Amino acid sequence: MKIAILGYGVVGSGAYEVAQAAHNIEVKRVLYKRPIDELGDIVTTEYEDILKDEEIELVAECIGGLHPAYEYVSAALKSGKHVVTPNKNLVAAYWDELHDLAREHGAEFRYTASAGGGIPWLFNLQRQSRSDDILSISGIVNGTCNYILDTMHNEPVDFAEILAKAQELGYAEKDPTADIGGFDTQRKCVISANLAFGTSISEEDVPVFGIQNITAGDIKYFNEHGYTCKLLMNAGQTETGAYAYVEPTLVSRGALESSVPANNNLISLTGNHIGTLSFYGQGAGKYPTGTSVIQDVLDIENGWKFSDKSEKNDVSVDNRLEAHRYYIRENGSCKITGPLSVTEAHRLASESSDEHFFMAGIRE
């Protein structure tokens, strides 16, 4: 199969290198803004060179962001080319439209690297959802936040200091808002929930509270009371609806999530028949994500189908359905609440006049 890779940054270059060792895959074109000496004449700055090339059966979009990624992916699907992408922003924002385009034009649309990076999370989530009712999903899906929280639990450092170190190590972007604000986790929650439950929720349906206000004092309290703080995505189905949210969560020292170190991820599903399955590993990076991209390519080349459920589960998110205790720090004092619904807790956070307000759900 002849393919094109759009973008040659961290993930695009990783996908290219992995593709060189893959059987039956030839990278015919790489779209990039300037020549790349080691790639020679396969590099083009014109997307039309790829779109009009009938030999190219698949486009691997590794540019990131919404635009021009959306325009490129839409055009590829409309021309009948398969599309593979690790772009969580794109998949979460245009879930329905891109799946509809793929079905309409007989193309495969795959994105297993968009949540979990190199972890085969979405691949196995989709497989399990074919024969089981997925009851809930949860997990650590942002390595930057996990590195920060893990370090704060184990070293006497404050948030600003360890964030700067994460940026120095390349774990955090120059503008870390998407990571520490929880928005990266939110998009992965949207994608995972849609695939798990056969529904179509959007980012607006998933409330987010990030870790940017956590302090060494909070961590000291958690350590003293036997808790570990992790930023988790959570989603599930009940008899009356669904819930989906992102927030710092206090888990016991014996919980699997508690021992996840550095920038690793741990993601779990609970099925009606299978019980709980957990997946651990590197959730981002050049080779973990690049490998996952090429695994999608190979699956398509081998004729393995991967798609969302054709019949939508018409369920809406109602976070009043999920309630638990919270740790809340506001105006210099902290408390453990009684059970609050997720809706109520996130309302309190949004209405607080304290710019340093922090909260974390407590998983019993």
Domain assignment of residue 207, yes or no: yes
State both tokens at 223: 């350590």
Q: Is 14 annotated as a binding residue?
A: no
Query: Is position 174 annotated as part of the catalytic site?
Result: no
Find out whether 267 and 279 touch, Cβ atoms under 8 Å: yes
Find out whether 322 and 243 touch, Cβ atoms under 8 Å: yes
Q: Is 173 annotated as a binding residue?
A: yes
| pLDDT band at residue 246 using 50, 70 and 90 as cut-offs | very high
pLDDT digit string (tens) for 143-182?
999 999 999 999 999 999 999 999 998 889 999 999 999 9
Domain assignment of residue 272, yes or no: yes
Domain assignment of residue 241, yes or no: yes
Range(s) of the domain holding residue 100: 2-118+286-301
pLDDT number for residue 328: 98
Catalytic residue among 81, 188, 230, 312: 188
Q: Is 59 annotated as a binding residue?
A: no
Q: Is 141 annotated as a binding residue?
A: no
Q: Is 305 annotated as a binding residue?
A: no
Statement to judge: residues 28 and 63 lie in one domain = yes
Orientation of helix 10-20 relative to helix 286-301, angle to 10°: 50
Statement to judge: residues 290 and 331 lie in one domain = no
pLDDT digit string (tens) for 311-322?
667 889 999 999
Statement to judge: residues 82 and 221 lie in one domain = no
**Residue recorded with tokens 């200091």:** 161
Domain assignment of residue 309, yes or no: no
Q: In Å, how far are 16, 55, 123, 132, 237 from 317, measured between CA atoms?
A: 39, 43, 24, 21, 9
- Specify the DSSP class assigned to residue 79: T
Q: Is 47 annotated as a binding residue?
A: no
Find out whether 277 and 268 touch, Cβ atoms under 8 Å: yes
pLDDT number for residue 56: 98
Closest CA to 219 of 172, 147, 140, 149: 149
Query: What CATH number did the domain enclosing 236 receive?
Result: 3.30.360.10
Q: How far apart are CA 87 and CA 95, in angstroms?
A: 12
Please tell me the total count of domains within the chain: 2
Statement to judge: residues 358 and 243 lie in one domain = yes
Q: Is 290 annotated as a binding residue?
A: no
Q: How far apart are CA 16 and CA 26, in angstroms?
A: 10
Q: Is 303 annotated as a binding residue?
A: no
Q: How far apart are CA 269 and CA 220, in angstroms?
A: 30
pLDDT number for residue 306: 78
Tell whether pTM > 0.95. Answer: yes
pLDDT at 202 > cutoff 70: yes
Q: How far apart are CA 350 and CA 355, in angstroms?
A: 10
Domain assignment of residue 53, yes or no: yes
pLDDT number for residue 238: 86
Domain assignment of residue 313, yes or no: no
Q: In Å, how far are 144, 172, 214, 227, 231 from 153, measured between CA atoms?
A: 14, 18, 12, 10, 13
